[in-house]
């Protein structure tokens, strides 16, 4: 039958039969008496794949160019003869086609043909070896294998292979899929796509392998299952992985050639299945059984080199208890039951570590919500810094994935589920003025005193100064200030007076190193000052100052001088003293912290942090990339090099908390990153490091610095967090090896992995889990520290209430390491960069929250501390000095089986005392915060008590303002007769004094009143509620943007219940917005219209009366007729303008006698 007749028959049958039946029965060869041996043709020479025939058994390719990193020395095509007779392949041929590129889809190129020679013996293989892959260190070396060589690469991105019993060329058009066309001499075919998602191939038997679990790659081949041919490539072949296969498995899947003979019926070579031993712990019982495969059972075992206390039985059971610690080379020998016996000895490392008890969480931390920017990146920089605004319940996120980077504003709401972005602030548009070219948005901070959002912006030119932008809560530009070069972290003092940036000034171009600085902006004067490190006398000897780079190789090989610090110091992070007078600045690459006096704008000191001794038992770490969790002591040192830093004052002492990440200098022509392999030959022979490393190379890949001399070896970072005395910079506490101990216990399969590389132990030779940011917060009456781990992911929580003896509390890691296809997952909670703590008093759930920005995964996770919850029946209480007592009721929801009781305290017992039952007794005018703490110390709730002077004047004035610990925008205490520093001579002085004395208007922390500052809607609600003394309402959400835990929520609820406020049509109240004059008039009228003495006759006329909104006309008319309102000198009311604090004092004082 010729090709034309055969085609007609094939297409005619296709109209009547299924594809499967066509494949099974179509004629494919000239009928003859005897089909060619080894071909799939039976009676009548009809094609039948069930007839035993030579098959394509395995195909592997590594791509179309050399690649030194691949695992196999050559691409290959393995044939197998399952028949009972030898088959002469002379006159046979192989045909191959791929796309000629790395494309994963699309048509293949034309067929290439290899004519075969020789014989494939019965039950044996025939190996066609392709062009060498270029592998530098092949795991499978085929140099001495093969029956025939083919001078071409075998691809890994989809291919077709056809075996023919003749040497006729295939037609590039008619035979795109020879399984369908069945040219004369067709024997077998494999068509496979790659392991990429969506990969295809245009020729195959029925179905083809594709995707991560089936297709080919540089690490994975496809191999036939049990020599079966069902004419379905997808079903007949399975993926084999040369990366993970070892020992017996590797031997079993490796291709054979003719020299292996009848291998299918022979036992596999004797091999040890056990390739590694689990870690043993000193003083703890140990038990493991080694196993063998191949050869002839039974097996007998022996072992040499076991540490004292451990033995092995003939059956391979290793057991016992050892007191030794260290790494032991154990030579395991196995003998099989063959005659003569096969013997195999293999060395396996047994690591014995000091025993570390399993570390348990003290309470749970649960992920309850998430915001995603919709992108992720292995390079990070997507979701970076996050800050929460307690005034409006939003968080502000530096979104580095946007083009250009933007500031996302997200409503936290009830903090659960998938959160949505409200808007993006296009910072580039705001910044690019006066010749400034936007480079990057690096950081954000929020100041609820001044109602400002501050962002740091870098110039595109890394040698030019950046900017600080001051925005309102909606992202509108209010002011801008000059910053230093490359402003990174931004920080404002809580009183709003100063804004600072850490100006990193890295030598990004390699040729110039600009001076690092700290920018201090005085928002009162508008002056911006860059503070430089130009005084060598304040720099101590421990500061790591880098010297000049060697022009030959760009490596820094020596230390610099203190004069070099002007250019070399790189500010990274800023923390503040409790009184806001000092700034503590982390200088990461310099392993130091600078102390700056903010008011004088002067560097007081630059203190080096010293070194961490890794030879101490508490500081053991894993420094080998050996696929095992091995925490060992080595005679090296760690350079703390903190990234994130926080400050907290405990019992009157300020402490600094650092996340000891470490950071290498790696710029064009300037680097100090090296390895032990490169540095050990330069070591002083008398040094402990030299003695330790002499004769071994297993530590050669460990990353170390090159500019610290040759008396020791110095690694980047401490793999820990530390606590420092802020006054002396002395080390108070370091978490030692906790992070690797805990992650090793919790995530053994992902120990020390990276973000895009999840091979276990990947980061052990570098910086391990890599602590990134650290934040502290108050939980009940406990101080907590939260530390993000940038590489393995998750965050550690410690109780640091006692800074000398912190205790581990929790490790939470919500990262999903593999996606549905079994590949590295980046669309997950990976790469924690910025942390933000929200205390229970400000949390919409009533429990503390931690916001975590994942810079690689592009998400912000909302995590809730599942601690005891305490809530009070009211948040604010208004009392009269000497008047009746009021009882607060606390609801306590304890953790587990804890006690549902609370302990009460007052922040100022001279103003108000509270007894053990929560009963408050008012003593004198002022404010106090009443706190209820749960019995376990983890839960708390607060109520603000305002005590007004009695009408009889019987209260005792306070000589000093009472500190106000609540987070209100105007949190200052008010003495009975306050004296403000900035109202003398002001037109509203008397009105301000009257309302301050009555406890209705409050001052600022610095003793000022700021009469001309505009008032927000939340602040005005508080003023009206204090004026009216309304009864507190149930904590129910009235407006979507008024969280129950916000300081002003009780005021808003009370006014809403009284029908005084109703909000906006969209259901919002807009608490952070400045209130306009006409809005203030309407709310005042609703609150006090029954107290107005409205005069008969027309009201006064204003020149801008037409500007008054229709809904405000009645209120304006009544307040004018009642003598409350009057126009300005020009006769204007200015109804649409924002109203000031002084103006509020004036109109409200009308109703205070």
Q: Regarding beta strands 55-60 and 74-81, do their DSSP bridges make them parallel or antiparallel, or are they unpaired?
A: antiparallel
Question: Is 908 within 8 Å of 963 (Cβ atoms)?
Answer: yes
Residues 333 and 394 in one domain: no
> In whole angstroms, what is the distance from residue 993 CA to residue 1001 CA?
9
DSSP state of 865: E
pLDDT at residue 28 in the model: 40
| 818-823: long-range pairs with CB below 8 Å, 24+ | 818/758, 821/197, 821/211, 821/212, 821/213, 822/212, 822/213, 823/212
For 850-881, how does the pLDDT look when each residue is reduced to its tens digit (9 = 90+)? 999 999 999 999 999 999 999 999 989 999 98
pLDDT-wise least confident of 161-175, 188-202, 492-506, 895-909: 895-909
pLDDT value, residue 1032? 67
Which region among 305-314, 557-566, 619-628, 789-798 has the lowest average model confidence (pLDDT)? 619-628
- Asked whether the beta carbons of 990 and 1001 are under 8 A apart, the reply is no
Is the residue at 319 inside a domain?
yes
Strands ordered across the beta sheet of 582-587: 571-576, 582-587, 592-597, 602-608
Q: Is 730 inside a domain boundary?
A: yes
Residue 1100 has pLDDT above 80, yes or no: no
- Mark whether 277 and 219 lie in a shared domain: no
* Domain-ending residue, one of 302, 329, 353: 353
By DSSP bridging, strand 394-399 and strand 406-411 are antiparallel
Percent of the chain exceeding pLDDT 90 equals 74
Pair (193, 320) in one structural domain = no
- Cβ-Cβ contacts under 8 Å for 743 (sequence gap 6 or more): 751, 752, 769, 789, 792, 794, 811
Contacts of 837 (CB under 8 A, 6+ apart): 775, 776, 777, 784, 786, 848, 849, 850, 851
Task: Please give the pLDDT value at position 980.
Answer: 76
Sheet with 940-948: list strands edge to edge. Answer: 876-880, 940-948, 926-934, 902-906
What's the mean per-residue pLDDT of the chain?
Answer: 90
In a domain, 302, yes or no: yes
Instruction: Please name every residue paired with 128 in a beta bridge, in sequence order, or none if there are none.
Output: 77, 148
Kindly state the average pLDDT of the residues 345-361: 88
Paired residues of 778 in beta bridges: 783
276 vs 462, which has greater pLDDT? 462
* Same-domain pairing of 312 and 405: no
One domain for residues 458 and 341: no
pLDDT at 25: 36
User: If you ran DSSP here, which 8-state letter would residue 1091 be given?
Assistant: G
Residue-by-residue DSSP string for 1104-1118: TGGGS-GGGHHHHHH
Alpha carbons 17 and 318: distance in angstroms, whole number? 63
pLDDT of residue 1042: 83
d(CA 241, CA 223): 10
- Same domain? For 482 and 343 the reply is no
Let me know the angle formed at the C-alpha of 207 by 203 and 210, rounded to the nearest 5 degrees: 85
Given a cut of 60, is residue 1097 above it in pLDDT? no
pLDDT at 1072 exceeding the cut of 60: yes
Is residue 8 predicted with pLDDT exceeding 60?
A: no
Q: Which of 325, 353, 381 is the last residue of a domain?
A: 353
| Cα–Cα separations (whole angstroms), residue 944 to 523, 878, 965, 970 | 30, 9, 9, 13
As given in the structure block, the two tokens for residue 1084 are: 């005042």
Domain count, the chain: 3
CA dist 1041 and 1072 (Å) reads 10
Residue 641 counted as domain residue: yes
125 belongs to a structural domain: yes
Q: Encoding tokens for residue 160?
A: 């077709």
Rounded to the nearest 5°, which phi and psi values hold at 982?
-130, 20
Question: Do residues 100 and 112 touch, judged by C-beta distance below 8 A?
Answer: no
| Residue corresponding to tokens 């995603």 | 372
The predicted structure's pLDDT at residue 279: 85
Asked if residue 945 lies in contact with residue 928, where contact means CB atoms within 8 angstroms, the answer is yes
Q: Are residues 135 and 66 in the same domain?
A: yes
What count of residues does the chain have? 1153
Task: Establish whether the linkage from the previous residue to 404 is cis, with ω within 30° of 0.
Answer: yes
Both 414 and 464 in one domain: the answer is: yes
Helix and strand totals (H; E) in the chain: 16, 66
E strand segments, 825-939: 832-838, 849-854, 859-865, 869-872, 876-880, 886-887, 890-893, 902-906, 912-914, 919-922, 926-934
Q: Tell whether the model's pLDDT for residue 70 goes beyond 60.
A: yes
User: Is residue 897 in some structural domain?
Assistant: no
Nearest to 862 by CA among 844, 875, 878: 844
Q: What is the pLDDT of residues 936-970, one digit of tens each?
A: 999 999 999 999 987 543 333 333 333 333 333 33
On whether residue 1031 sits in a domain, the answer given is no
User: Residue 250 phi/psi, 5° resolution?
Assistant: -65, -45
Residue 37: helix, strand or coil by DSSP?
coil
User: Taking the chain, what is the end-to-end CA distance rounded to the nearest angstrom?
Assistant: 117
Q: For residue 34, with 0-12 CB atoms within 10 Å meaning exposed, 13-18 middle and 19 or more buried, which class applies?
A: exposed
717: left (phi over 0), alpha (psi -120 to 50) or beta: left
Q: Does residue 1041 sit within a domain?
A: no
We report the CATH number of the domain holding residue 318 as 2.60.40.10
Residue by residue, DSSP assigns 635-684 as: S-EEE----SEEEEEETTEEEEEEEE-----EETTEE-EEEHHHHGGGS-
- Identify whether residues 403 and 549 lie together within a single domain: yes
Asked whether residue 398 falls in the same domain as residue 490, the answer is yes
Q: Name the percent of the chain lying above pLDDT 70.
A: 93
Tell me: do 223 and 297 sit in the same domain. no
Which residues are CB-contacts of 450 (< 8 A; sequence separation ≥ 6)? 492, 496, 523
Are 148 and 234 part of one and the same domain? yes
pLDDT of residue 760: 94
Query: Can you point out the beta strands (E) in 267-354?
Result: 271-272, 280-281, 286-289, 292-293, 300-304, 310-312, 317-320, 326-335, 343-353
pLDDT at 33: 52
Q: With the CA atoms of 1107, 1109, 1115 and 1116 taken in that order, what torsion angle do they form, in degrees rounded to the nearest 10?
A: 0
In our burial notation (b when 16+ CB lie closer than 10 A, e otherwise), range 798-823 reads: bbbbebeebebbbbbbbbebeeeeee
Distance from CA of residue 810 to its chain's centroid?
17
> What tokens does 388 get?
């929460």
Confidence of residue 1094 (pLDDT cuts 50, 70, 90): low
Contact 173, 203 (CB under 8 A): no
Q: What is the pLDDT of residues 585-612, one digit of tens each?
A: 999 999 999 999 999 999 999 999 999 9
Express the helix, strand and coil content of the chain in percent, nearest 5 each.
Answer: 15, 35, 55
Is 1116 in contact with 1094 (CB distance < 8 Å)? no
Secondary structure (3-state) at 346? strand
pLDDT-derived band at 117, boundaries 50, 70, 90:
very high
Domain that holds residue 281: 271-353
- pLDDT confidence bin for 1035, thresholds 50/70/90: low
CB 763 within 8 A of CB 752: yes
The phi, psi pair for 351, rounded to 5°, reads -100, 125
- Report the alpha-carbon distance of residue 374 to residue 833 in Å, rounded: 17
Which of 320, 353, 386 marks a domain boundary? 353
């Amino acid at each position: 039958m010729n090709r034309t007749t055969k085609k007609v028959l094939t297409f005619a049958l296709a109209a009547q039969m299924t594809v499967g039946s066509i494949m099974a029965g179509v004629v494919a060869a000239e009928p003859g008496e005897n089909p060619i041996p080894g071909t799939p043709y039976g009676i009548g020479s009809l094609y039948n794949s069930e007839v035993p025939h030579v098959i394509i058994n395995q195909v592997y390719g590594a791509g179309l160019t050399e690649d030194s990193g691949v695992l196999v020395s050559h691409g290959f095509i393995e044939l197998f003869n399952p028949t009972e007779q030898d088959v002469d392949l002379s006159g046979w041929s192989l045909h191959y086609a791929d796309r000629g590129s790395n494309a994963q889809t699309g048509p293949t190129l034309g067929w290439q043909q290899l004519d075969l020679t020789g014989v494939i013996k019965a039950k044996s293989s025939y190996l066609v070896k392709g062009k060498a892959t270029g592998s530098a260190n092949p795991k499978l070396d085929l140099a001495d294998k093969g029956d025939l060589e083919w001078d071409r690469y075998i691809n890994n991105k989809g291919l077709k292979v056809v075996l023919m019993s003749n040497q006729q060329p295939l037609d590039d058009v008619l035979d795109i899929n020879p399984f369908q066309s069945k040219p004369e001499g067709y024997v077998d075919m494999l068509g496979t796509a790659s392991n990429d998602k969506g990969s295809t191939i245009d020729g195959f038997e029925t179905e083809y392998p594709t995707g991560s679990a089936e297709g080919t790659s540089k690490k994975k081949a496809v191999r036939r299952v049990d020599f079966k041919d069902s004419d379905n490539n997808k079903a007949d072949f399975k993926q084999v992985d040369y990366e993970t296969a070892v020992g017996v498995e590797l031997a079993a899947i490796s291709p054979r050639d003719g020299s292996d003979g009848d291998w299918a019926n022979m036992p596999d070579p004797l091999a040890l299945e056990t390739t590694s031993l689990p870690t043993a712990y000193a003083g703890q019982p140990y038990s493991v059984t080694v196993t063998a495969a191949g050869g002839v059972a039974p097996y007998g075992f022996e072992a040499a080199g076991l540490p004292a206390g451990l033995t092995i039985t003939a059956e391979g059971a290793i057991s016992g208890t050892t007191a030794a610690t260290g790494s032991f080379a154990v030579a395991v020998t196995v003998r099989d039951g063959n005659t003569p016996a096969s013997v195999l000895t293999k060395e396996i490392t047994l690591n014995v570590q000091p025993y570390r008890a399993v570390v348990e969480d003290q309470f749970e931390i649960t992920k309850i919500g998430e915001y995603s920017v919709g992108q992720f990146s292995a390079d990070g920089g997507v979701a970076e810094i996050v800050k929460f605004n307690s005034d409006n319940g939003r968080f502000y996120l530096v979104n580095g994935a946007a083009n250009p980077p933007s500031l996302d504003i997200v409503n936290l709401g009830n903090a659960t589920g998938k959160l949505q972005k409200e808007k993006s602030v296009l910072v580039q548009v705001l910044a690019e003025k006066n010749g400034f070219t936007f480079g990057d948005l690096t950081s954000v901070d929020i100041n609820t005193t001044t109602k400002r959002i501050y962002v740091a912006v870098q110039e595109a030119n890394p040698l030019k100064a950046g900017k600080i932008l001051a925005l309102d809560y909606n992202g509108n530009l209010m002011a801008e200030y000059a910053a230093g070069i490359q402003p990174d972290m931004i920080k404002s003092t809580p009183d709003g007076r100063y804004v600072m940036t850490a100006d990193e000034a890295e030598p990004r171009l390699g040729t110039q190193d600009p001076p690092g600085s700290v920018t201090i902006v005085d928002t009162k004067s508008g002056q911006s000052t860059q503070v430089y490190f130009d005084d060598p006398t304040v720099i101590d000897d421990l500061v790591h100052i880098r010297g000049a780079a060697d022009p030959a190789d760009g490596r820094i090989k020596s230390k610099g001088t203190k004069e070099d610090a002007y250019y070399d110091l790189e500010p990274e992070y800023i923390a503040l003293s409790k009184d806001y007078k000092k700034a503590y600045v982390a200088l990461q690459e310099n392993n130091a912290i600078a102390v700056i006096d903010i008011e004088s704008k002067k560097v007081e000191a630059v203190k080096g942090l010293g070194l961490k001794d890794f030879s101490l038992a508490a500081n053991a770490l894993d420094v080998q990339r050996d696929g095992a969790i091995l925490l060992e002591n080595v005679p090296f040192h760690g350079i703390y090099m903190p990234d994130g830093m926080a400050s907290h004052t405990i019992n009157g002492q300020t402490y600094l908390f650092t996340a000891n990440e470490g950071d290498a200098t790696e710029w064009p022509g300037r680097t100090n990153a090296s390895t032990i392999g490169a540095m050990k030959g330069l070591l002083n022979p008398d040094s402990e490091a030299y003695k330790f490393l002499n004769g071994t190379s297993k530590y050669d890949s460990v990353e170390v610095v090159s500019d610290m001399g040759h008396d020791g070896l110095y690694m980047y970072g401490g793999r820990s967090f530390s606590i420092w005395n802020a006054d002396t910079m002395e080390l108070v506490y370091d978490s030692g090896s906790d992070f690797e101990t805990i992650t090793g216990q919790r995530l053994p399969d992902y120990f020390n992995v990276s973000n895009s590389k999840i091979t276990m132990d990947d980061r052990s030779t570098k910086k391990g889990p890599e602590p990134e940011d650290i934040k502290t917060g108050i939980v009940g009456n406990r101080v907590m520290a939260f530390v993000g781990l940038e590489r393995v992911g998750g965050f550690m929580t410690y109780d640091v209430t006692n800074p000398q003896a912190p205790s581990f509390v929790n490790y939470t890691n919500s990262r999903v390491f593999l996606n549905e296809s079994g590949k590295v997952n980046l669309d997950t909670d990976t790469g924690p960069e910025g942390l933000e703590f929200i205390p229970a008093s400000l949390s919409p759930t009533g429990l503390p929250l931690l916001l975590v920005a994942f810079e690689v995964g592009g998400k912000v996770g909302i995590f809730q501390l599942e601690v005891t919850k305490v809530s009070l029946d009211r948040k604010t209480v208004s009392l009269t000095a000497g008047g009746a007592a009021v009882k607060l009721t606390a609801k306590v929801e304890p953790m587990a089986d804890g006690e549902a009781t609370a302990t009460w305290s007052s922040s100022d017992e001279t103003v108000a005392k509270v007894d053990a039952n929560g009963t408050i007794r008012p003593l004198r005018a002022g404010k106090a915060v009443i706190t209820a703490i749960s019995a376990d110390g983890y839960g708390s709730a607060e109520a603000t008590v305002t005590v007004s002077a009695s009408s009889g004047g019987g209260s005792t004035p306070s000589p000093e303002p009472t500190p106000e610990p609540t987070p209100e925008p105007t949190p200052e205490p008010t003495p009975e007769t306050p004296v403000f520093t900035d109202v003398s001579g002001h037109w509203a002085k008397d009105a301000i004094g009257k309302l301050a004395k009555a406890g209705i208007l409050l001052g600022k922390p610095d003793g000022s009143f700021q009469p001309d500052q505009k008032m927000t809607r939340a602040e005005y609600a508080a003023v009206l509620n204090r004026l009216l003394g309304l009864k507190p309402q149930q904590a129910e959400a009235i407006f979507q943007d008024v969280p129950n835990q916000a300081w002003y929520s009780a005021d808003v609820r009370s006014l809403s219940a009284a029908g005084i406020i109703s909000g906006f049509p969209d259901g919002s109240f807009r608490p952070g917005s400045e209130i306009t004059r006409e809005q203030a008039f309407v709310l005042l009228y609703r609150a006090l219209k029954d107290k107005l003495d409205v005069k008969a006759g027309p009201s006064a006329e204003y020149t801008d009366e037409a500007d008054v909104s229709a809904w405000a006309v009645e209120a304006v008319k009544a307040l004018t007729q009642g003598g409350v309102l009057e126009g300005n000198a020009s006769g204007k009311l200015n109804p649409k303008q924002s109203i000031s604090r002084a103006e509020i004092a004036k109109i409200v004082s009308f109703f205070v006698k």
